[in-house]
Amino acid sequence: MQELNEFLLDLGPVWGISIVLVITLLVSFIYNRIIGRYISRESQRDKDHTSLQFMRHVGTALIYLIGLAFALSQIPSLRSMGHSLLAGAGILSVVVGLAAQQSLGNLFSGIMIVIFKPFRINDRITIQNITGFVEDIDLRQVVIRDFENNRVIIPNSLVNTEVIVNNQMKDPKICNMLKIGIGYSSNIDLAFQIIKDEALNHPLVIDNRSPEDIEAGKPMVMLRVVDLADSSVNLMAWIWTKNKTDGFSMMCDLRKSIKERFDREGIEIPFPQRTVTFAKSDVDK
């Protein structure tokens, strides 16, 4: 490294900086291409590539830091700073400067996220009432894509101190709870049968029962009366899907199909009604 620096000094500042710039960009490009291939390969195998993605950002930052040190070494007034960086003595100063701006805290938080893996790239998470899919984890921040296709940028240090809901950690399956109110004069057993038929016929529903549950006769769709409200008998169905996205689609479909079946079978779904009575004024009298 010392020999390379002396060679660049012999060429002069302009040529030296130009060569450093070209080499830095070339090394960064090659490094990112290599890591990018590994990430693509892991994605095709449906494996977690969060660590590779984070390492990509760390490696790129180090390459540019070394390139900056070489470039500073070509400028006479900044040569001592460049030499200090290359020798390693100036790295502590850089770290202290970063810490003063809370950047070091974000870096360490990012490392903790990668090591302990509370979530991975492409996981669906909820943090600070923000729900979306994790797109990237870099040295400073986590990038979340929400359902409106916005990119929400959250600093790593904040992520590390917040409560995170991970919908896909270990087991992405979800139990969807469908609540429907029917009139007091409606047939509860018929309503249960309609809900059960529509749920079991939906293509996105899954059977989450264990062999023991099946042997014990536990139903695939659990149905219960959960409340006797002021104007309705509230029914609840527990229906499983393989993930939350499928669950949302299924619930929308079921609300429509169940409403149509209820209408045909004479099952009433109550709704609030208000009777307004106008008092007669003295003029009317």
Give DSSP secondary structure letters for the chain: -HHHHHHHHHH-HHHHHHHHHHHHHHHHHHHHHHHHHHHHHHHHTT---HHHHHHHHHHHHHHHHHHHHHHHHTSGGGHHHHHHHHHTTTHHHHHHHHHHTTHHHHHHHHHHHHHH-SS-TT-EEEETTEEEEEEEE-SSEEEEEETTSPEEEEEHHHHTTS-EEETTSS---EEEEEEEEE-TTS-HHHHHHHHHHHHHTSTTB-----HHHHHTT--SSEEEEEEE-SS-EEEEEEEEESSHHHHHHHHHHHHHHHHHHHHHHT-----------PPPPTTT-
What local confidence, expressed as pLDDT, does residue 93 receive? 53
60 and 35 together in one domain: yes
153 and 76 together in one domain: no
User: Is 44 part of any domain?
Assistant: yes
96 and 10 together in one domain: yes
User: Is 53 part of any domain?
Assistant: yes
How far apart, in whole angstroms, are the C-alpha atoms of residue 78 and residue 64? 17
Mean pLDDT across 198-204: 96
Structure tokens at 262: 């209820």
What local confidence, expressed as pLDDT, does residue 4 receive? 53
**Count of beta carbons in the 10 Å neighbourhood of residue 249:** 14
pLDDT in tens, 26-35: 888 887 787 7
How far apart, in whole angstroms, are the C-alpha atoms of residue 195 and residue 202? 11
pLDDT in tens, 113-154: 777 778 888 888 898 888 899 988 877 789 999 988 999 999
Give DSSP secondary structure letters for 144-155: EEETTSPEEEEE
160 and 141 together in one domain: yes
Instruction: Look at 75-79, 92-96, 253-257 and tell me which has the smallest mean pLDDT.
Output: 92-96
User: Is 207 part of any domain?
Assistant: yes
What local confidence, expressed as pLDDT, does residue 281 receive? 63
pLDDT in tens, 267-284: 999 887 666 777 766 555
- Give the chain's domain count: 3
Place 228 in a pLDDT band, splitting at 50, 70 and 90: very high
> Where residue 254 sits, what CATH number does that domain have?
3.30.70.100
What local confidence, expressed as pLDDT, does residue 262 receive? 96
User: Is 274 part of any domain?
Assistant: no
Q: How far is CA 133 from CA 111, 122, 141, 195, in A?
A: 20, 5, 14, 31
Look up the domain containing 210 and give its range: 174-265
Q: Select the more confidently predicted residue: 160 or 203.
A: 203
8 and 81 together in one domain: yes
Alpha carbon of residue 203 to chain centroid: 26
Place 233 in a pLDDT band, splitting at 50, 70 and 90: very high
Mean pLDDT across 223-241: 94
User: Is 226 part of any domain?
Assistant: yes
C-beta separation of 78 from 27 below 8 A: no
What local confidence, expressed as pLDDT, does residue 68 receive? 76
192 and 149 together in one domain: no
How far apart, in whole angstroms, are the C-alpha atoms of residue 132 and residue 168? 12
Instruction: Look at 57-66, 221-230, 257-266 and tell me which has the smallest mean pLDDT.
Output: 57-66
142: β partners: 137, 154
182 and 255 together in one domain: yes
End-to-end, the C-alpha distance of the chain in Å comes to 105
Place 86 in a pLDDT band, splitting at 50, 70 and 90: low
- Tell me what percent of the residues of the chain surpass a pLDDT of 90: 32
**Count of beta carbons in the 10 Å neighbourhood of residue 103:** 17
User: Is 270 part of any domain?
Assistant: no
> Where residue 127 sits, what CATH number does that domain have?
2.30.30.60
Mean pLDDT across 58-74: 75
Query: Alpha-carbon dihedral of residues 224, 228, 234, 240, nearest 10 degrees?
Result: -30
Q: Select the more confidently predicted residue: 158 or 200.
A: 200
Instruction: Look at 36-40, 79-83, 136-140, 162-166 and tell me which has the smallest mean pLDDT.
Output: 79-83
Mean pLDDT of the chain: 80
178 and 221 together in one domain: yes
pLDDT in tens, 188-198: 999 999 999 99
Q: Select the more confidently predicted residue: 153 or 97.
A: 153
What local confidence, expressed as pLDDT, does residue 89 receive? 46
233 and 257 together in one domain: yes
Q: Select the more confidently predicted residue: 164 or 116.
A: 164
pLDDT in tens, 42-53: 666 656 566 667
124 and 204 together in one domain: no
- Whose CA is closest to 198, among 247, 255, 240, 266? 255
Q: How far is CA 202 from CA 11, 94, 110, 257, in A?
A: 73, 59, 41, 10
What local confidence, expressed as pLDDT, does residue 158 receive? 86
